[in-house]
Structure 1
Amino acid sequence: MKNIIKIFLSDVRGLMKNFFALVIAIGLCIIPSLYAWFNIYSNWDPYANTSSVQIAVATEDKDYTLSDGSVVNMGDEVVDELKENDTIGWVFTDKDQALDGVYSGKYYAAVVIGEDFTSNMYESVTNGFQGSSITYYENEKKNAIAPKITDTAATTLQTSINEKFIEVVASTIFTETNQLSADLKNSDGIESFEDKLKEINASLQAYDGMIDTFIQGNEALTASVNSASDKIPGLSTKISDTAQDVTDTNASLTASQATLAGFNTDVQEALNQVQASLDAVATDLSNAGLGDKAKVTAESIAQTKNDTEALIAQLSTLQQTLEELSRQEAENKQQQLQDVTDEQKMALDESGEQSTESGIQIPDIQIPDIQIPSDIQLSEETKQQIQAALDAIQSLQNGAGDITTALNTIQGAISDIKAEQGSDASKIANDVKTTIDSDAAGISSTLSGCKQSIENMKGVYSNNLVPEMSNVLDSMSQALTNVTNLLNNLNSTLGNMGLVFDGVETTMSGLDDSLVQIQAVIRSVSSELTDITDKLDAAGEDEKVDVLMDILEGDPETYGEFFAQPVSIETEPVYEVKNYGSAVAPFYTVLALWVGALLLVSLIKVKADPDKLDHPKHHELFFGRYLLFFVLGQVQAAVVVLGDIFLLKCQILYPGLFWFAASVTSFTFSMLIYALTIAFGDMGKAFAVVIVVIQIAGSSGTYPIEILPDFYQKVYIFFPFPYAINALRETVAGMYGSTFETALSELLVFAVAGLMIGLVIRIPFIRLNHFMEKRMEDTKMM
């Protein structure tokens, strides 16, 4: 503690002994205040001098003649009103000069009143309420703030014109109603007028009943929509199941194609085997030698019999296959596909019937008909060819049966020869030979016919039957694929129908609300008309006119003034500040204190001389020199506060608290900037400059933080300016709760941060800072 006081007293004595140093110190205490005072004064009341902002006004409005012969010109009236308005520097000229002045920068803006300005006002009732308009030209290049001021002037002008317009229209309408009442007094039209009122009332009551009907219909429609919407999930499931059935059918058809390929191979082999058997039988008969050699004949006959039996088996298989084809399996597949299509159409019909019952115009969902290819059925020619093949097979089977019978006879004869082998054997052999010779001729003839039939069957099968069946299966497969895609698209369409139903329900709900509101208006008007007609019916002939006069008559000007400004606004200030300079005084005062602290660290060394001290520690050197910065900072705060109060005469409701907040702010700023400089040297000074640059733009000192870019809205709470400004604002405009104490407490957090930087964080950087200072001294410039 002794070293701290010693350093401070040494610094004070040094200033007192050195005149120039003392002058500089005094200047450091006053210069920051000038920064605040000049900025506050320049912003003292900028909107009080808007009369110097020149806006050109030109009118091309033409005179308008009223029904009574009088001439009016509302454009000239607007000009006359502007001449009495001294808040803006209005310059009255013609259109060409006004536009030239805006483009050259002579005028900030120009207002040009069109030639139909008055006529549109007075004829608005008859021309569909086409409003009058003015053209506003604005030079946004000349100054950034001037357009905002001229926009305000233009808005004020527009409001004034709108009031005048409404006043004229309302006055015109009520003038006409007064004329109507006068006409009724002077004519016999009272009866007709009463009848018109009753007709209008009857029409309104009819509209009321019609709206009830609409509302009831909407309720029924909403219920139907909900019912149809509830059925959509079930319909979607049904379509999905149908799509799965079609997919399964297509898979079965694919399997049939594979089966057809295998069957084709089997039939070809069967036909080849039958032909080989026939050739073998013929060869065996030829090799038999017509019974000359019994043993050889017996063996050949046995082989021929075996081949013939194989032929009969192959013919039976082929016959079963062709009979299966003759059952028209393709027609069955076609019928199955048609059933799927019919089921899909029934599902769509259900949806259509539901939408019809609901009375909703659902968008038409076009589902193309599924056309079953005509070639999916076997042609008549193919059927005839199959039947011919079956007849040929039957003939082959009969021939094979004859061959078998003959071979059995020959085998029996040969068996008798083998059994006898005696005196009668020769006779039996002759009989066998005779039998073989007689049967062999028939067998050969039968075999020739069978071979020709086999050749014909192979031609029919290969050239007609197989290609025909292949085309049938391909057509069926393509048709089923198309059906599957169609069902998937339809399922997606049903999902969209659900959205349509939801939209219809929302629309119906909104329509009901609108109808109820319209109905309330109709009933209110109808009630008024009923009261009027009841009064007219109860009144005598002489009294009816008086009743109507009470209803229709009125002062047009009074009505016009009322409708021009039906609502008035009364502004009640909260925390009123008498001028803009007082409003920005907290911001510029805080800014001056930060600038003052920057000037102190820039011109006064932050490191105390340890010589002549008794083993000084780091914290003693820190606080010893800081005491000088603290005292000078408090002098700066006092000077700027006194100038704000007594020189500029800012509005400050709590001068003592204003000084106290400025004192705390000076302490926080000087501590933070001093700590940054002693810890990081020139880098710390640069960092302090960066901080103030960011805070000038984004501390909510002038513009609300809510309208600044997102970056400033996110980071401004991490800087000290907002808290210091909030504390000073409380003393300028008025206190609210504990806002003042809270703001100062939050501000002192940055003073604590400065202590941490100067006493703790600084330690690891001492050697680095010393090294950087030596290198900068080596440059002979820094």
Structure 2
Amino acid sequence: MKTKWQQIRTLLGLDHFQRLWQIKPLRLSLLGILLIPVMYSFIYLAAFYDPNENLKYLPVAVVNEDHPVMKDGEKIQIGNDLVQNLRENSKLKWEFMSRADMQKGFKEGKYYLGIVIPHNLSALATTVDSPKPLKGQLKYYFDKSYNYLAGSSIGDAMIKDVEKNLDKELTNAFVDKIFVQMKDSTKDLEKAADGANKLADGTKEAKKGSKQLADGLEKAKGATDQLEDGNKQIYNGLGELAPGAEKVAGGVSQIEKKALEMQKIAHDINDAIQKLTKNPPIPQLPSQKTNQPASQPTNGTPSDKLIDAKDKAKNLKKQYQDLISGKPELQNDPAAKSVLENIEQIIQSNDAAALEISKIKDKVPSSPVDTKSIQDALNKISKTANDKTAEIDKNVNDIKKLSKGADQVADGANKLYKGSQKVYQGQKELNKGMGDLKDGAGKLDDGLKEINDGQKELAKGLTDGVNEANQKLQGANAKGKVISDPVDVERTDLHPVPNYATGFAPYFISLSMWVGAMLLFTILDLEKASRKLGGRPLSLWVIGVVGVAQVLICIFALTWGLDIKAKLPVWLYLFTFIVSFTFIAINQMLADLLGNVGRFLAILILMFQLTSTGGTYPTQLIPDFYQALTPYLPMTYSIHGLRMIISNGDVSSMLQDIYILLSYFFGTFVVTRIYKMWIKPNIKGYFIKRLQHKSA
């Protein structure tokens, strides 16, 4: 009779463990199934617990062929400085050697990485301040055939680190050089500022002179304006004078002509009087009469000539008066008046002479005394005529001179008018030029003012620039260091992962649980185990307990053996239980429904989960085909959930993964139960009936 506890053990299938343990082959299989998951994850994570800590043992060949150079009295040795920095850097195992030794080491597989510092690195670095600066070049050597990671990922990280140090070193040196040149430039700027100030002072003085020049030109412009007005008046006056002078000269010429006619008349009268004086018309005394016949009067006697001269004189007077009346400019002329007076005198003298002669003709001398008195009277008339004639000759000569002078005056007036026209035009040009000069002087003054203002502003700007530059150049060394390394990177690790093992633990725990579940239905033959148990099927509790044991052993070994700490330690166990049960349910369904084909599919699914669940590289980096598989693979959610538990601490995201895993679990579990409880028995009964029917 079984006890109550024995009945419970049998109901739960716990007695199966005792029976399985008693069967040696099954006992060994059970031990392997329990230990393989922990071995799979523990060994791998222990071997690669934190490879970055061991980079200091990775040898890197360094060849320094650089030759130092001198620049501005300073020794430049970039290669030696880089070697010194590498000696102080313990991230990698730097080994310094010749190029031949490096090549030998690569050939023997001793080195994966190498650096060669070329001979002209320092020389090229000194060209930074030349018109065509040249870049230096480091040479890196890799040999990925011995180890891909060492030659690619680690090599790339090394290159970046070396380049960063070298860039910092060169930039610091270049900036120091630039700061020195800037300091020298500020000294030149100080000189330029002083020169600008002096130039501004000189321009200020020049401006004063230009102001005085402008004022003087302003006054000169006023004077030239007045001079232009005066010259204009002279020009206009001469313009009026020249025609008048010509008219006067013409009038004087006509006066001269009339004066000559008057002179001829005067001479004719004088000749007649002189002839009359020599042969006076005196009657003879009785005692003087002879028998000679008396002389007959003839035409052309002196008396007739006097009469004729009188007529000519009167006619000349009329012509002259007409001439003078037509020339107003001669009416008040003394010469013109003198000619008219002389004509009047000629007429008067002629009348007087004619009167005396007529008296003489009418008077009969009674004695020689009377004859003498007549002769005396004639002599007196002759003398008066000679005097008047001489006076008229003198006046005519004066008129000739006056005419000649009038011609000269007219000619001079014309020449003076033409000259004054040139003077006036020249004065206008001078005045215009003076105006332009005045305007130019004003513009010069304004321009000098602008120049002076600009020079002051330039001097102030240069001085301010020098002061600002000197101020900014303070602390040049510190600034050079900041420029060479301008950014301090502040890393904020939102969810720190201390080492490689902790980071990859979700992946290998999930992988171990799948392998353990897969082996449970591969190594442990449940059909044989069932026959060993008297035909009873292996209890689900046994399978569940195996899964729990796998989880407990694996998680304990990783947390205590490798010191992998989870942010949610309780959830680490609970979640891994769910993962284990889910993976067992999936593998059981495949094995029960499809047998060996199902076991092959379990291995194939494992392969896809190794590549498509984001355990190593982010899924965004894998091909599209594998990315398409990601959401359908259970390890996608086990890895993500374990990451939330170990490193992130996000419970809500982890619960979402649990829901998805439980859906996988219940789905496959229900399918397996339906198959075992209804489909498989019906199929078996169908084939038994067919066999019985055939045998009957």
Task: Flag whether TM exceeds 0.5 (same fold).
Answer: yes
User: 1:596: how far off?
Assistant: 1.2
Partner of 2:610: 696
Match of 2:54 in 1: 49
Cα-to-partner distance string for 1:287-343 (whole Å, 9 max, x where unaligned): xxxxxxxxxxxxxxxxxxxxxxxxxxxxxxxxxxxxxxxxxxxxxxxxxxxxxxxxx
Alignment partner, residue 146 of structure 1: 150
Q: Is the 8 A contact 1:8 1:627 kept in 2?
A: yes
- Quick one: structure 1 residues 183 and 5, their matched pair in 2 at CA, closer, same or farther if it must change by over 3 Å? same
Find out whether 1:589 has 2:509 as its counterpart: yes
Deviations 1:199-243 (A, max 9, x none): xxxxxxxxxxxxxxxxxxxxxxxxxxxxxxxxxxxxxxxxxxxxx
Taking the aligned partners of 1:699 and 1:161, their CA distance within structure 2 comes to 40
Note if contact 1:66-1:72 (Cα within 8 Å) is conserved in structure 2.
yes
1:92 aligned partner: 96
Q: Within 5 A, what are the aligned runs for 1:83-232?
A: 83-147=87-151, 148-183=153-188, 190-191=194-195
The alpha-carbon deviation at position 552 of structure 1 amounts to 7.1
For 1:728, the equivalent position in structure 2 comes to: 642
**How much has 1:101 moved relative to structure 2?**
2.8
Letter of the 1:180 partner, please give it: S
| Conservation of the 8 A alpha-carbon contact between 1:33 and 1:636 | yes
TM-score (norm 2): 0.56
Query: Hey, what's the Cα distance between the residues in 1 that align with 2:44 and 2:455?
Result: 72
The separation in 1 between residues aligned to 2:472 and 2:533, in whole angstroms, is: 104
CA 769–80 in structure 1, closer or farther in 2 if over 3 Å, else same: farther
Letter in 2 for 1:690: L
User: In 2 relative to 1, CA 584–722 (structure 1 residues): closer, same or farther, beyond 3 Å?
Assistant: same
Shift in CA distance, 548/654, structure 1 to aligned 2, threshold 3 Å: closer
Structure 1 residues 604 and 553 mapped into 2: Cα distance closer, same or farther (>3 Å)?
closer
Q: CA contact under 8 A between 1:606 and 1:625: conserved in structure 2?
A: no
1:664 to 558, 575, 578: 578
With over 3 angstroms needed to count, the CA separation of the structure-2 counterparts of 1:35 and 1:538, relative to structure 1, is: closer
What is the alpha-carbon distance in structure 1 between the residues aligned to residue 454 and residue 560 of structure 2? 71
Change (3 A) 1:765 1:144: farther
Evaluate the alpha carbon distance shift between residue 685 and residue 547 of structure 1 in structure 2; reply closer, same or farther with a 3 A threshold: closer
1:576 corresponds to 2:496: yes
Shift of 1:178: 1.1
Alignment of 1:677-688 (within 5 A): 677-688=591-602
**Map 1:115-514 → 2, pairs under 5 A:** 115-147=119-151, 148-183=153-188, 190-191=194-195
Shift of 1:16: 4.7
Determine the C-alpha separation between the residues in 2 that align with 1:714 and 1:551.
62
Secondary structure of 1:738's partner? helix
Q: Say if 2:552 is the partner of 1:638.
A: yes
Q: Does 1:710 align with 2:631?
A: no
**CA deviation vs aligned residue, 1:144-168 (integer Å, no higher than 9, x gap):** 2112111101111011111122212
What is the deviation of 1:105? 2.6
- One-letter amino acid matched to 2:120: D
Q: Structure 2 matches for 1:508-527, cutoff 5 A? A: none
- How much does 1:82 deviate? 0.3
Residues 1:176 and 1:768: Cα distance change in structure 2 (over 3 Å): farther
Residues 415-443 of structure 1, C-alpha deviations (whole Å, 9 max, x = no match) = xxxxxxxxxxxxxxxxxxxxxxxxxxxxx
- CA distance in 1 between counterparts of 2:657 and 2:471 reads 64
Q: What code does the residue aligned with 1:751 have?
A: F
Distance, in Å, in 1 between the alignment partners of 2:666 and 2:15 is: 27
Do 1:171 and 1:559's aligned partners in 2 also have CA atoms closer than 8 Å? no
Secondary structure, in 3 states, of the residue corresponding to 2:175?
helix
What is the CA–CA distance in structure 1 between the aligned matches of 2:194 and 2:507, rounded to whole Å? Answer: 73
Q: Matched residues in 2 for 1:590 and 1:7: separation?
A: 28
Cα gap change, 1:605 to 1:7, in 2 (>3 Å): farther
- % identity of equivalent residues: 21
Query: What is the CA deviation profile of residues 418-477 of structure 1, one whole-angstrom value per residue up to 9, with x for unaligned ones?
Result: xxxxxxxxxxxxxxxxxxxxxxxxxxxxxxxxxxxxxxxxxxxxxxxxxxxxxxxxxxxx
The verdict on how the C-alpha distance between 1:65 and 1:15 changes in structure 2, with shifts beyond 3 A counting, is same
Decide whether the 8 Å contact of 1:64 with 1:119 is kept in 2: yes
* Structure 2 residues not aligned, in runs of 5+: 1-6, 201-452, 688-696
Match for 2:519 among 593, 599, 620?
A: 599
Letter in 2 for 1:688: A
Unaligned runs of 5+ in 1: 197-530, 773-782
Question: What letter is aligned with 1:714?
Answer: A
Q: 2:63–2:102: 8 Å Cα contact kept in structure 1? A: yes
SS at match of 1:649: coil
Structure whose alpha-carbon radius of gyration is higher: 2
SS in 2 for 1:653: coil
Instruction: Report if aligned partners of 2:55, 2:91 keep a CA contact under 8 Å in 1.
Output: yes
State the alpha-carbon separation in 1 of the partners of residues 182 and 522 from structure 2. Answer: 82
Q: How big is the shift at 1:727?
A: 1.2
Q: Deviations over 1:643-692 (max 9, x none)?
A: 11111111212211000011011111111111211111121111111111
Alpha-carbon contact 2:186-2:470 (below 8 Å) kept: no
Task: Report the secondary structure of 1:112's partner residue.
Answer: strand
Q: What is the deviation of 1:721?
A: 0.5
User: What does residue 480 of structure 2 align with?
Assistant: 560
Aligned to 1:413: none
SS of match in other structure, 1:604:
coil
1:654 and 2:568 correspond: yes
Any idea what SS the aligned residue of 2:567 has? coil
Question: Which whole-Å CA distance do the structure 2 matches of 1:714 and 1:193 have between them?
Answer: 78
How many positions carry a matched residue from both structures?
A: 426
> Could you list the runs of 4 or more consecutive aligned residues of structure 1 that deviate by over 6 angstroms after TM superposition?
193-196, 531-535, 543-546, 610-613, 765-772
Mapped partners of 1:760, 1:93: distance in 2: 73
Cα distance in structure 1, aligned partners of 2:106 and 2:685: 61
- The equivalent position to 1:74 in structure 2, one of 63, 71, 78, is 78
Separation (CA, whole Å) in 2 of partners of 1:159 and 1:31: 46
Query: Are the equivalent residues in 2 in contact too, given 1:668–1:748 (CA < 8 A)?
Result: yes
- Residue 548 (structure 1) shift: 6.8
Cα drift, residue 188 of structure 1: 6.8
Rate the CA distance shift 1:168–1:6 in 2: closer, same or farther, 3 A: same
Partner of 2:423: none
Deviations 1:704-761 (A, max 9, x none): 1111121210112111111111111111112225101000111122212322431345
Go from structure 1 to structure 2 and tell me whether the alpha carbon gap of 1:699 and 1:631 turns closer, same or farther (over 3 Å shift).
same
